[in-house]
Chain A
Amino acid sequence: MNTEYREVITRAMEYGGILDAMLALQEKDGYLTGEAVEALGKAFNMFPSQVYDTATFYSMLKFEPQSITEILICRGAPCHVAGSVEVIVAIEKEIGIKIGEKTEDGRYSFDYTECLGQCQAAPAVLVNGKLHTNVTPEGITVLLRKGGPEE
């Protein structure tokens, strides 16, 4: 296990820093496992507590297995001005949980993310990593009804 982590980290270190390595490890397991954090600590000469501290700064990094459909909405000011609040309300209504929560069956999770760099086409939403821009409350409802990740 540990060697696998080391390989992923070594590859990531060729093109980037610790954040790239974290993303690569997340790609592998779906989230950052405890051993992954420890392996990162060794590779970057940091204490596990420091690695974890750094990682938790980014909402795109996860520390537990994720739900099937993950919806992330941008919390940036331009998205807010463009009406992200209405979109949030629509999503909450559709999937029946509040932002920051997970459905009990584990099908959906819904949370904020930081600026997605799509301010020109705000509001922006990520559904399982796929970007949707100029999102409207109606649009997102239709999208979610059509059903999940593959969309």
Chain B
Amino acid sequence: MEMINININGKVFSVDAESTILEAATANGIHIPTLCTIKGIDSRASCRICVVEVKGERVFQPACATKVRKGMEVDTDTLAIRKSRKTTLELLLSRHAVDCHHCLRIGNSRCDDLDPAFCEMCFFCECVKDGCCELQALAREYKVDVLPYPHENIDQKVDKSTGSIIRNSNKCVKCRRCVDVCNDIQTVHNLSIINRGSNTKIVPEMDKNMKDSPCVQCGRCVDVCPTGALFVEEHTDEVLFYTHNYGIETAALVSSNTLKKLAELFRMETPVMEAELVVAGLRKIGVDYVYTDEVVNQLSAKDGEKALLKALETEKETVIITDSYAAEKFVKQNFAKLAPKLVTYDSPQRIFSKYMKQNFAGDQNHNTSDFRLIAVTEGGENAADAYENKSVDFVIPARELYSIFIRTGVNPKKRQPLKPDSIVVSPKELPATVFFAPVEWSMEKDIKQTEFVLSGNRIKAAIATNLGQVGVLLEEVQNGNSPYRVIRINA
């Protein structure tokens, strides 16, 4: 790595010659605010929040998209820059429905009695202070406390057609993150930008609604959206209704994929929140049975292993296997010829659902119809599976759980950790091969190759961690030159 010297805010730093001003500054502990750029995708520099002064340049430069040069002199925090960033924010907010206290990005909604007209821009008020909205955080950082420009274009219809991935265009700041993830990483090519200038809009393919679009409900656009424009359908009211209802029993599965986000939201020192604290919080709001996901993950892996063993007997070519709702949809849509070959097994969420509906209800003489199942998990595809296939009644992502806790005044951090309920399985069922252990979605282009042994055979396999990789791998299968015996896909 070649290093060069540049000057940031009057100090000389040795930085990677290939980096952008933003990367160089961040690496040296200098904060530059951003809104549109995300790690892993080349910046489109569409928001202009990250502008900095570069000596010799006529106008401010976007730090996220400007490469460093030898001897460059950069100022990241002058009055002129702060003013420019503030104006940008004011302009963005003039096309943004600023009803923060009703937004899902805000934890605290104990403000039903607030007057929205009065509380237009209350960024300094207690009631919205604990949100997780990047736009609001910037507005606070730059002290945007009045809206100087008239509000425009904030009466577009919210698209709830999928029942899981919801788009509220009124909150979109056109940062493009979702478009890039949907096109470049997931290669679904659904979201795109249409029109131009102030009429620019993000829309599903050909301005269809989400249900009729090629969207596979992977939910990855939701994960990157900095505002409340894309989100997983909320179920706060239903969940609280049923947990507070004596005639109905509720059971929740806490997936470990939410623990990191929860720690972040609750501003904890630890990288993840202890599952026992989440269990305690859920019990406090009235959930009757709370489970963590170790056993269901194992059972899901076992289910995968069984399905794979069976498939290996009959399938002479590459076996494609998945437990993902979105991956299944993606394969059907883009590789119709391979779709009949696709082997599916139960995801942890489905395992949980089956376990609760069969064993649990039978064992303890419960009536399943008086049961409500809640999955606390990230990932839009789980929400889509719940909506389409009724695997569970409600999917609650970390962000929504956070807001439920805040709304009900339950602080899991302050609770006594509680042991989860246990799912009883015969030891015969376990353990399963590590090949089916949970994997995280990634933006990587490089595909993870692996080898494992199954009933005495060495198997060469690939694990796809995003749909773009699935595209590449299945293209090979279709052309008959896949080097793998097994492809496991994760969306």
Interface residues of A (CB under 8 A from B): 34, 37, 47-50, 52-53, 56-57, 63
Contacts and interface: CB of A to CB of B under 8 A. Distances in A.
Contact of A50 (B189, B204, B207): B189
B190 interface: yes
A52 B189 contact: no
Nearest to A56: B194
Contacts of B192: 49-50, 52-53
A52 B206 contact: yes
5 contacts: A48-B205, A49-B204, A53-B192, A53-B194, A56-B195
Contacts of B206: 34, 37, 48-49, 52
Contacts of A53: 192-194
B191 interface: yes
Contacts of A48: 189, 205-206
Contacts, number: 32
Contacts of B183: 49
A49 B196 contact: no
Contacts of B194: 52-53, 56
Interface string B50-94: 000000000000000000000000000000000000000000000
A49 B190 contact: yes
A45 B196 CA distance: 23
A52 B191 CA distance: 11
B195 A49 contact: no
Interface of B: 183, 189-196, 204-207, 214
**Chief secondary structure at chain A's binding surface:** helix
Which of B191, B192, B206 counts the most chain A CB atoms within 10 A? Answer: B206
Enumerate the 9 nearest inter-chain pairs by beta-carbon distance, A residue then B residue, closest first.
A47-B189, A56-B194, A49-B192, A53-B192, A49-B205, A52-B206, A56-B195, A49-B189, A57-B196
Nearest to A53: B192
A50 B205 CA distance: 8
Contacts of B196: 56-57
Nearest to B194: A56
Contacts of B204: 49
A49 B214 CA distance: 10
B221 to A, nearest CB: 13
A63 B207 CA distance: 10
B180 to A, nearest CB: 13
Contacts of A34: 206
A34 B190 CA distance: 15
Contacts of B214: 49
Nearest to A47: B189
A37 B205 CA distance: 11
